[in-house]
């Protein structure tokens, strides 16, 4: 499981370690509309977004 939080009032991009890149994930919890997907080399969070995902 990975948990991301953005406490800024603007978008914030996080670079992901190589071991997570290309992995599919399931959204467990989000305060924004988020869908299951596949991780790339980075993830961008909206202002004040919290996101918990499960790596498949």
pLDDT score of 55: 97
Question: What is the full per-residue pLDDT of the chain (56 aa) written as tens digits?
Answer: 999 999 999 999 999 999 999 999 999 999 999 999 999 999 999 999 999 999 99
Considering its fold, how many domains does the chain have in total?
1
Range of the domain at 6: 2-55
Query: pLDDT at position 12, please?
Result: 97
Torsional class of 40: left (φ above 0), alpha (ψ -120 to 50), beta (otherwise): beta
Token representation of residue 8: 């800024």
Two tokens at 2?
A: 């990975």
CATH of the domain at 36: 2.60.40.1180
């Amino acid at each position: 499981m990975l948990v991301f939080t953005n406490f800024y009032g603007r978008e914030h991009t996080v670079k992901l370690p190589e071991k997570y890149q290309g992995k599919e994930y399931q959204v467990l919890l989000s305060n924004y509309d988020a869908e299951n997907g596949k991780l790339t080399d980075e993830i961008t969070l909206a202002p004040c977004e919290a996101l918990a995902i499960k790596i498949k």
